Amino acid sequence: MATKGKFAVVWVAFVVLGALFLGGCGRAVGRIDKITPEDGTQPLKVEAGKPALLRLTFTNVGSRPGTFIARVVVYTSGGQKVREYEKPPVLLSPGQQETVEWEHVPSAEGEYAVQFSLWKDTSTVVAQRPDKPQKLLLVTAATPTGKFALGDRVRVISAVNVRTAPGTSNPKVTHVNYPGSMPMGSQGKITAGPQQADGYLWWRVEYDNGVTGWCIEEALAKATK
């Protein structure tokens, strides 16, 4: 009986120590569940100057609470870092999920690579997605907006050059009724535009006298008649 009693004590001690050991080995483990833009899909398309939403969803799949730092880095197609974003550390219980978002406003058109990551601290990464920066963002040229719409009647409020295409380097139109510039008061109809060139917004105008070409917006106003 004494032997059995000793065996029972040893067994209980072994179980308690094992539990303590396993508990001590528990740790927080971060897993990236979803990213936006998603990898393996078509890049997110956005105009230059408009915000692109970057979103990261992650979960603590470990057995202990843990603190995680979410980051995302945007690179040019050539690998140069454009911007890095980071969220303050967040404490997650086992099984708890968190979603964080950033707004990235690209300033120039082109293809951009993106990589999301999850960090245990400022120097220890625990998860990355994609594994390497991937082209997930396609930035297009900003669509210019102006004060007219197609079909609007306009009048010249200061003498204006009429050119064959948008841009100050393009030649002026040639027409029997075009004296080198359209005089103030001339009227016509907007048929195309706006387009941006050389610091101006340009509109294609069909003037009532038969002259047609591109004029800068600031020389035009809506006609009242």
Report d(CA 133, CA 114) in Å as an integer.
Answer: 5
Work out how many domains the chain is built from and give that number.
2
pLDDT-derived band at 6 (thresholds 50, 70, 90) equals low
Report d(CA 95, CA 61) in Å as an integer.
Answer: 5
Residue 79 lies inside a defined structural domain of this protein: yes
CATH number at residue 104: 2.60.40.10
Residue 9 lies inside a defined structural domain of this protein: no
Question: Model confidence over 136-182: pLDDT tens digits?
Answer: 999 998 777 789 999 999 999 999 999 999 999 999 999 999 999 99
Report d(CA 38, CA 84) in Å as an integer.
Answer: 18
For residues 163, 165, 168, 171, the Cα torsion angle rounded to the nearest 10 degrees is -50
CATH number at residue 211: 2.30.30.40
- Regarding whether 114 and 61 lie in a shared domain, the answer is yes
Instruction: Give the CA angle between residues 154, 157, 160 to the nearest 5°.
Output: 90
Sequence-separated (6 or more) residues with CB below 8 Å from residue 35: 55, 56, 57, 116, 129
Instruction: State which residues form the domain around 176.
Output: 153-222
Question: Model confidence over 183-219: pLDDT tens digits?
Answer: 999 999 999 989 888 889 999 999 999 999 999 999 9
> Which residues are registered as beta bridge partners of 104?
52
